[in-house]
Amino acid sequence: MRMALHLAEKASGRTSPNPMVGAVLVRSGKVIASGYHRRAGGDHAEIDALKRAGRKARGATLYLNLEPCSHYGRTPPCADALIAAKIKRVVAGMADPNPLVSGRGFRCLRQAGVQVHSGVMEAECRKLNEAFIKYITRGLPFVLLKAAASLDGKTATANGSSRWVTGRAARRRVHELRNRYDAVVVGVGTVIADNPQLTCRIPGGRNPVRIVLDPRLRIPLTSRMLTEQGSTIVVANLGAPQRKAARLERLGAEVWRIPSRRDEMSFAAVLKKIAEREMVSVMIEGGAITAGLALAAKVVDKIAFFYAPKIVGGDGLPILSEIGTKDMSQSRPVKRVEVERIGDDILLTGYLGN
Q: Which residues are catalytic?
A: 46
Instruction: Please give the Cα distance from 208 to 20 (Å, whole number).
Output: 17
Amino acid identity of 264?
E
DSSP per-residue letters across 230-241: S-EEEEE-TTS-
Please state, in angstroms and as integers, the Cα–Cα distance from residue 34 to each residue in 31, 45, 76, 175, following that order: 8, 8, 19, 28
In angstroms, how far is CA 335 from the centroid of its own chain? 19
Query: Is the distance from CB of 41 to CB of 74 less than 8 angstroms?
Result: yes
Classify residue 298 by burial, with Cβ atoms within 10 Å: 0-12, 13-18, 19+: middle
Query: Is the distance from CB of 180 to CB of 204 less than 8 angstroms?
Result: no
Instruction: Please give the Cα distance from 135 to 183 (Å, whole number).
Output: 14
